[in-house]
Structure 1
Amino acid sequence: MEIQTNVSLKPYHTFGIEVKTKAFCEVSVVAELKEALRFAETEHYPYFILGGGSNVLFTQDYDGLIIRINTKGKEKVTEDSTTVLWRVQAGEHWHDFVMWTLDQGYCGLENLALIPGTVGAAPIQNIGAYGVEVKDVVKTVEVLDVDTFDIKEIPHDACAFGYRDSIFKRQKGKYIVLAVTFGLQKNGGTLVTDYGAVKAALAQMKVDVPTAGDVAQAVINIRQSKLPDPAILGNSGSFFKNPVVDVAVLETIQKNYPNVPHYKLNNTDVKIPAGWLIEQAGFKGKRFGDAGVHDMQALVLVNHGKASGQEMFDLAQNIRQKVKADFGIDLAFEVNIL
């Protein structure tokens, strides 16, 4: 393992912002990860674990060690007539893994196609889309305990999964995800196709009885139609979480916006799309220098070329303040801010 110094992070995160880190390394086995952590401790450096770089905004140069997880590999754990368990290394590319499962005839991840990032980031964020969250298929998460260097297997029920949340996010810095074991269905399984956009995409594809591959293609079509490609326009996907609010808050908003979109979670809580709130606040498609809001999906902040991380962050804060003033709702960041 090589420790590099004064490294540009522009190629390593999807916002494509020109920032540098004091030290940088890539690790492909656990021994190298431990070595990197010991280096950081010896040098008294803070460190940050980087996967695909699709969920982070660097607002300034990083005065420490960036550890990029590049572990690869998949291993079948068990299999029966209906399900199969696969243990997958944290550094595997998420979308490539999803498409691989479909090629093998498995289902369970098709609604999560084309989400950027790595396998290791998936349970931390409890990634989700179009009616499915990764917690639905995660069986265990293998982690390195940073304090003891012990390798632990965290079962599903101990992961404390929530909306874009988990124990790994709440206890930030305690664990580093090494691998994830997924339980996938064989022979067709149960598909989730009742989400409106997915239904519409399948209809457009003229598919009446969809396969898992059809659902994945529908999701890919939706994402490509409204979300910018980070290789062309720097972004991190959804910058904010969709807020969950009390029904009373929704009823107040409905007085001025009777058609506000919302999704009922239970008798007291509803989820309102953050993109809709941002659009109503007047930010959709707006550009402030090279920092902007995407013109197709207001939930996505974009770097038009040379925006600084601080400029992107300032825009995000301005959006939060306006949404709070207009609707009384606090938007939470989905992206890690450094």
Structure 2
Amino acid sequence: MPYFSNFSLKDYNTFGIDVKAQKFISVATLSQLKEVLKENKNIFLLGGGSNMLLTKDIYKTVVHVNLHGVIVNNETDTHVEVTAMAGENWHEFVLWCIDQNYGGIENLSLIPGNVGTCPIQNIGAYGFEVKDTIISLEALNIETLEIEKFTNEECEFGYRNSIFKNKVKGKYIITNVTFKLTTKDHQTNTSYGAIQEELKDISNPTIKDISNAIIAIRNSKLPNPKEIGNSGSFFKNPVITIELFDRLKTKYSTIPSYPVSDTTVKVPAGWLIEKAGFKGKSFGNAGVHNKQALVLVNYGNATGKEVHDIAKKIQRKIKADFDISLEIEVNVY
């Protein structure tokens, strides 16, 4: 297997940041992955490169996980179990499932990245999280080189969170994920206003209709990473106390919220950022997207540090204006 030295990662991260890897290797099989790990313990894992901001060169062996394959395990009259390898492109996998009339992940259409990273972040959109369909996953223990299985419960999923982002971060490489999807009587979610607007002329929308609607919505609001470097949503939507929300409501009467519990609500980070005056603003080679304030962008030649500096500037302003601490959703290296 060839290693590449001083390798540019510009085409391997959706921000399009030009940092160098001291050593780079792409692995296509499990045996190759194990072989690389026997030789290199100081590694940096790279999947689709969609949920990261690279701010400096990487003086480690960058391992590009490029495992491919989709297997249908069990299919009944109502459900099917599908296992996808970690290197499968997430959106292409969603479209493949829809083509088979497998429902459950259509609301997650057009989210960038690969299958192997979707559980780490517990990706979610339009009233749905990927944890709702994951049965289990397999991961390679970097220390023992043994494959271990994690059930849904053992993944400890939370809002944009899992055990792989905290307790066992850096200890495992997810190799495949198994999903339980529906084959008929799909339990669709079209409760979001934007989806309803897109589907207003369709009386009984199919999972394909819902996917197409979400693709249209995302394309209208979010820049294509192939055209403008970005990682999608840069910040998490903050969860705040109802007490703080009520205080903010007296000053900002139009502030939106979504109930989380009896004592907390979720506030859209994009609304806060726009209200703070950042939407559409440029800072040198980087900036905040003009259609979606939640998205930070690289206009062509930005460094990761430039993007990160904007993020920190936004965090300070949101804290000062709203007394809310915005948490970054992407992984910053």
With the shorter chain as reference, the TM-score category is over 0.9
Question: Secondary structure in 1 aligned to 2:274?
Answer: helix
Question: Secondary structure in 1 aligned to 2:177?
Answer: strand
Separation in 2 of the partners of 1:128 and 1:23?
A: 33
Which residue pairs with 1:175 in the alignment?
A: 172
Counterpart residue identity of residue 177, structure 1: I
Separation in 2 of the partners of 1:48 and 1:283?
A: 33
Which residue pairs with 2:40 in the alignment?
A: 40
Which residue pairs with 1:246 in the alignment?
A: 241
Per the normalisation by structure 1, the TM-score is 0.97
- In the alignment, is residue 255 of structure 1 matched against residue 250 of structure 2? yes
Question: Secondary structure in 2 aligned to 1:228?
Answer: coil
Separation in 2 of the partners of 1:147 and 1:38?
A: 9
Q: Note the C-alpha offset of 1:188.
A: 3.8
Which residue pairs with 2:61 in the alignment?
A: 65
Mean Cα displacement is larger for which, 110-119 or 75-84? Answer: 75-84
Question: Secondary structure in 2 aligned to 1:181?
Answer: strand
Separation in 2 of the partners of 1:305 and 1:213?
A: 34
Separation in 2 of the partners of 1:315 and 1:146?
A: 35
- In the alignment, is residue 226 of structure 1 matched against residue 226 of structure 2? no
Counterpart residue identity of residue 268, structure 2: P
Q: CA offsets, 1:112-159, max 9 Å, x none?
A: 000000000111110000011000000001111122211011111111
Which residue pairs with 2:264 in the alignment?
A: 269
Separation in 1 of the partners of 2:170 and 2:76?
A: 36
Separation in 1 of the partners of 2:118 and 2:86?
A: 9
List gaps (5 residues or longer) in structure 1: none
Tell me if structure 2 keeps the 8 A contact 1:73–1:92.
yes
Which residue pairs with 2:193 in the alignment?
A: 196
Identity %: 50
Separation in 2 of the partners of 1:27 and 1:9?
A: 16
Tell me if structure 2 keeps the 8 A contact 1:25–1:68.
yes
Counterpart residue identity of residue 187, structure 2: T
- In the alignment, is residue 84 of structure 1 matched against residue 80 of structure 2? yes
Question: Secondary structure in 1 aligned to 2:199?
Answer: helix
Which residue pairs with 2:147 in the alignment?
A: 151
Which residue pairs with 1:122 in the alignment?
A: 118
Which residue pairs with 1:140 in the alignment?
A: 136
Q: Note the C-alpha offset of 1:220.
A: 0.3
Question: Secondary structure in 2 aligned to 1:238?
Answer: coil
Q: Note the C-alpha offset of 1:72.
A: 0.4
Separation in 1 of the partners of 2:188 and 2:252?
A: 34
- In the alignment, is residue 164 of structure 1 matched against residue 135 of structure 2? no
Give the aligned length: 332
Which residue pairs with 2:18 in the alignment?
A: 18
Q: Note the C-alpha offset of 1:40.
A: 2.0
Question: Secondary structure in 1 aligned to 2:157?
Answer: coil
List gaps (5 residues or longer) in structure 2: none
Per the normalisation by structure 2, the TM-score is 0.98
Question: Secondary structure in 2 aligned to 1:77?
Answer: strand
- In the alignment, is residue 308 of structure 1 matched against residue 296 of structure 2? no
Counterpart residue identity of residue 198, structure 1: I
Which residue pairs with 1:283 in the alignment?
A: 278
Tell me if structure 2 keeps the 8 A contact 1:106–1:188.
no
Question: Secondary structure in 1 aligned to 2:232?
Answer: strand
Tell me if structure 1 keeps the 8 A contact 2:78–2:185.
no
Quick one: which of 99, 104, 129 aligns to 1:103? Answer: 99
Tell me if structure 1 keeps the 8 A contact 2:279–2:289.
yes
Q: Note the C-alpha offset of 1:12.
A: 0.5
Q: CA offsets, 1:89-111, max 9 Å, x none?
A: 00000000000000001100100
Q: Note the C-alpha offset of 1:83.
A: 0.3
Which residue pairs with 1:327 in the alignment?
A: 322
Separation in 1 of the partners of 2:32 and 2:276?
A: 47
Quick one: which of 287, 295, 298 aligns to 2:290? Answer: 295
C-alpha RMSD over aligned residues: 0.9
Counterpart residue identity of residue 51, structure 1: G
Q: Note the C-alpha offset of 1:189.
A: 1.4
Tell me if structure 2 keeps the 8 A contact 1:281–1:322.
yes
